[in-house]
Amino acid sequence: MRATAEAQGKDTLVNGNDTTYKWRRDPLIAEAMVDERTVVPNLIDSGKTLTFTALEAQQYGYCEGLAESVEEVITRHLAIGEYELITYEPTVMDNLRGFLMSSVFQGILIMLIIGGIYFELQTPGVGFPLIVSITAALLYFAPLYIEGLAANWEIIVFIIGLVLIAIEIFVIPGFGIAGISGIVLVVAGLTLSLLENVDFNFDGVETGGVGKALITVILGVGLGFALVLYLSSRIGSKGIFRNIALNTNLESSQGYVSVEMKWKDLVGRQGIAHSDLRPSGKIKIDGQLYDAVSEGGFIAASTSVRVVRFEMGQLYVAEAGN
């Protein structure tokens, strides 16, 4: 503020070999408008930021004049007699584009993109989550592309990120470089599409623009994961997703018995060794084959055995005579 006042708020008076500067706008006043520590004698003490009314601004040279309307500015202060005043009114498309490009709506679209992709991967073939995700992506990128913000390569970066995430989920076990790279590229594609950069030249980006874009994307992604967690807890019992999840409870009263419960019932039963146990092999009880481990070393095939215990999903047997 002070530098602006020094550059624009003075008149240069030349008298022969003498040059004098006359302040129309005191730089100290400009500094006091943004720094509460600045003291302007007979005007403001430290501890307060200086503010002016319209009349005070005119008195101290920080206002060129007062006017009640645009017409008065043109005729009185600009001294223009003949003119045509054209008032710009935003069209429906302008309002729609502004709405689609608002930070709040863009965050919601990112949330729908993330949520739709997740649920489509969890329930392949359903189609509805994928349609939601694609629609949200089109609504996100289309206005930015039309405005010249989103470049082709930025959209491609986003798509490559999605492909890497899909490869990590379906092809590569675990979660490693491909998944992390995919997340980074998705966030980068969404963020760069919000900026007025030319490739990697960010000179045209307004101050704080990168931070604002990054916050919008991170909040959108965070809300997307929150949506995933919320809807995942609702699927199977309520809502429109109940038909895409298995809701059947396998009750023991209906004849459903887990393998562990069934094998525990074999403890104490007798059978024969269907194969040599060295020490593992197969045994037969009531005509049914089971994997088993000998507790006493080698047991030859056709030897009578007894199940002595069931532990960690494994049957342990000994010779029936022991």
Tens-place pLDDT, residues 241-274: 455 455 566 555 655 555 555 778 888 899 999 9
For residue 195 the two structure tokens come to 């900026």
Q: Which domains does the chain have, with CATH numbers?
A: 2-77 (no CATH), 92-243 (no CATH), 253-319 (2.40.50.140)
pLDDT band, very low/low/confident/very high, at 239 (cuts 50, 70, 90): very low
Q: How many CB atoms lie within 10 A of CB 257?
A: 11
Report pLDDT digits (tens) over 5-29: 555 555 566 676 776 666 667 788 8
For residue 94 the two structure tokens come to 């302008």
Calculated CA dihedral for residues 104, 110, 113, 118, nearest 10 degrees: -120
Is the pLDDT reported for residue 305 higher than 90?
A: yes
pLDDT band, very low/low/confident/very high, at 115 (cuts 50, 70, 90): confident
Report the distance separating Cα 187 and Cα 165, nearest Å. Answer: 12
What is the structure's pLDDT at 126? 60
CA atoms in the 13 A half-sphere facing the CB of 175: 5
What is the structure's pLDDT at 306? 92
Report the distance separating Cα 300 and Cα 163, nearest Å. Answer: 55
What is the structure's pLDDT at 240? 43
Residues 103-107: what's their mean pLDDT? Answer: 88
Report the distance separating Cα 110 and Cα 219, nearest Å. Answer: 9
Going by DSSP bridges, is the β-strand pair 270-273/280-285 parallel, antiparallel, or unpaired? antiparallel
What is the structure's pLDDT at 49? 84
Report the distance separating Cα 273 and Cα 321, nearest Å. Answer: 13
Report the distance separating Cα 80 and Cα 76, nearest Å. Answer: 8
Report CA-CA distances (Å) from 170 to 42, 161, 165.
Answer: 74, 14, 9
Q: How many CB atoms lie within 10 A of CB 314?
A: 12
User: Do 270 and 304 form a contact (C-beta atoms < 8 A)?
Assistant: yes
What is the structure's pLDDT at 246? 56
Coil/strand/helix, residue 23: strand
